[in-house]
Structure 1
């Protein structure tokens, strides 16, 4: 029975480790900087909150690019 579970993950099941990690990075890259921005804004540090949000969001985009998009080998059509 364990073999069938392993084979579905390798065959591209919906909840693979890469997909879950990607979802966690995206959610934390939006939610945590957003919460920090709100709390800093309520404390009177609206500019600092905006910088924290931009850096957190940009960091998330960089991680997604570095981990999932950069390794792809995208090529155009090959002449035959």
Structure 2
């Protein structure tokens, strides 16, 4: 029975199917947003507010670059000929 259902979805990726790429994307988002935000707050409480802001900007910017480089850049986004 599982072979029949798998053959129906050959070539189609299910939206909520957990894959390695989706886990990596989620990890990058969590580290880039929450991780750098937590480090920024801790550095701010220790009196290193400017360093915390720099860490947050580098973490958030690095996350955006990683998502662009890994997922958006390889897409073939072209219109019809």
1:10-68 Cα distance to aligned partner (Å, 9 max, x none)? 74242111111111111111111111100000011111100100000000000000000
RMSD: 2.3
Deviation at 1:77, TM superposition (A): 2.1
Q: Does 1:29 align with 2:32?
A: yes
Q: Does 1:51 align with 2:54?
A: yes
SS in 1 for 2:18: coil
Residue in 1 that maps onto 2:13:
12
* TM-score normalised by L of structure 2: 0.80
Moved over 4 A (4+): none
The 5 Å alignment of 1:53-68 reads: 53-68=56-71
Residue in 1 that maps onto 2:42:
39
Figure out how many residues of one structure are paired with residues of the other and give that number: 76
Cα distance change, pair 18–53 in 1 and its aligned pair in 2 (3 A): same
Separation of aligned partners in 2, 1:32 and 1:47: 17
* TM-score normalised by L of structure 1: 0.81
